[in-house]
């Protein structure tokens, strides 16, 4: 069974969060019309979602379902 390091999980967390935060910033801007408000929303969201994703990723790394050895 393949396992993944904590560093890999952290790298995936950061790369995904950058992508998702840009998405949140753009959506917030289009909804509010305010870059300041959109930035506030994206800034708050980046911290909470990184933590949630990291623990989600670590939990999934313990589940063998769907993993294949290459």
Low-confidence ranges of the chain (pLDDT < 50): none
Residue 50: CA atoms inside 13 Å, Cβ hemisphere, count?
15
In a domain? residue 69? no
Q: How many domains does the chain have?
A: 1
pLDDT of residue 1: 57
- pLDDT tens digits, 22-42: 999 999 999 999 999 999 999
Is residue 70 domain-resident? no
Please report whether residue 1 resides in a domain. Answer: no
Q: Burial code of 36-65, b = ≥16 C-beta within 10 A, e = fewer? A: eebeebbeebeeebbeebbeebeeebeeee
Averaged confidence pLDDT in the chain = 87
Any domain includes 34: yes
Q: What is the pTM of this model?
A: 0.64
Could you identify the residue written with the tokens 């769907």? 66
Please state, in angstroms and rounded to a whole number, the distance separating the CA atoms of residues 53 and 57. Answer: 6
Give me the domain span that covers residue 18. 6-61
């Amino acid at each position: 069974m393949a396992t993944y390091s904590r560093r890999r999980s952290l790298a995936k967390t950061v790369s995904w969060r950058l992508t998702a935060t840009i998405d949140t910033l753009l959506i917030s801007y289009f909804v509010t019309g305010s870059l300041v408000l959109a930035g506030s929303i994206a800034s708050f969201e980046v911290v909470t979602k990184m933590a949630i994703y990291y623990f989600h990723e670590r939990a999934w790394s313990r589940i063998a379902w769907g993993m294949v050895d290459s």
